């Protein structure tokens, strides 16, 4: 697995150095250059009761190779009320990534309880490359707060073993589209 990612990652205007998994307040992150990621994830949102809102996250200029996840946002079911906003993934090249673009708001619970994390002003821009699975974009958002997402200039091809065409899947998402959409845009 070779992943070169995120020459620049900003959280509230600060550079951070660690795999991007946001749980607590952004003041806990260190300044510095990011060297390598195994994936990029704004994740584990809503797992802990003392979490605070997350906003202004930029992940840019990345190349991910052979990873399980690419650009991911993950929230827990039965979460406290939180907001995650102004999150942008841009200029990312995927090379045989299993889940290139994913929002998962049904993570981590044994019984179905809705996530209470509102995702707004989310952007995936200029993301290109190849996927190991035919679902190259997968948005599973909560019924409580449907995700507000922009997909712009997406060009992902499926290179897995089956002969399925690549696709985008969206559940409970309000998606706007701009520029190229390969595969064809999902209808939510």
Strands 117-131 and 147-158: parallel
20/22 Cα distance (integer angstroms): 6
- Could you state, in order of their start, the residue ranges of all structural domains in the chain? 8-182
Question: 41 versus 165: which is more confidently predicted?
Answer: 165
Q: What is the pLDDT of residue 20?
A: 41
Q: What is the pLDDT of residue 111?
A: 62
Q: In the chain, what percentage of residues exceed pLDDT 90? A: 39
188/40 Cα distance (integer angstroms): 25
Range scoring the smallest mean pLDDT among 56-60, 114-118, 141-145 = 56-60
Whole-prediction pTM value?
Answer: 0.81
19 has pLDDT over 50: no
50 has pLDDT over 90: no
44-67 mean pLDDT? 82
Rounded mean pLDDT of the chain? Answer: 78
CA atoms within 13 A on the CB side of 39: 20
Range scoring the smallest mean pLDDT among 135-139, 161-165, 176-180 = 161-165
15/119 Cα distance (integer angstroms): 22
- Encode pLDDT of 93-140 as tens digits: 999 999 999 999 988 766 668 889 999 999 999 999 999 999 999 999
Question: 188 versus 147: which is more confidently predicted?
Answer: 147
DSSP code for 54:
E
Q: What is the pLDDT of residue 54?
A: 84
51 pLDDT band (50/70/90 cuts)?
confident
What are the strands of the beta sheet with 69-76, ordered from one edge?
40-45, 69-76, 99-107, 135-140, 167-171
Q: What is the pLDDT of residue 79?
A: 86
37 has pLDDT over 80: no
Q: Where are the alpha helices (DSSP H) in 18-101?
A: none
* Phi-psi category of residue 163: left, alpha or beta, with phi > 0 → left and psi -120 to 50 → alpha: alpha
Query: Which CATH superfamily is 8-182 part of?
Result: Single-stranded right-handed beta-helix, Pectin lyase-like (2.160.20.10)
CB 112 within 8 A of CB 146: no
């Amino acid at each position: 697995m070779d992943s070169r990612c995120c020459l620049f990652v900003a959280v509230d205007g600060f550079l951070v150095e660690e795999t991007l998994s946001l749980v607590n307040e952004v003041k806990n992150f260190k300044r510095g250059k990011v060297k390598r990621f195994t994936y990029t994830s704004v994740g584990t949102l809503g797992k802990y009761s003392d979490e605070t809102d997350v906003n202004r996250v930029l992940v840019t200029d990345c190349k991910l190779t052979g990873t399980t996840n690419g650009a991911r946002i993950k929230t827990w079911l039965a979460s406290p009320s939180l907001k995650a906003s102004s999150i942008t993934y841009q200029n990312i090249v995927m090379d045989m990534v299993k889940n290139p673009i994913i929002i998962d708001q049904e993570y981590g619970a044994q019984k179905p309880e809705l996530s209470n994390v509102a995702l707004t002003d989310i952007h995936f821009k200029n993301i290109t490359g190849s996927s190991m699975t035919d679902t190259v974009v997968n948005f599973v958002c909560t019924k409580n707060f449907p995700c507000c997402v922009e997909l712009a200039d997406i060009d992902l091809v499926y290179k897995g073993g089956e002969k399925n065409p690549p696709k985008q899947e969206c559940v409970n998402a309000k998606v706007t589209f701009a520029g190229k959409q390969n595969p064809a845009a999902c209808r939510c």
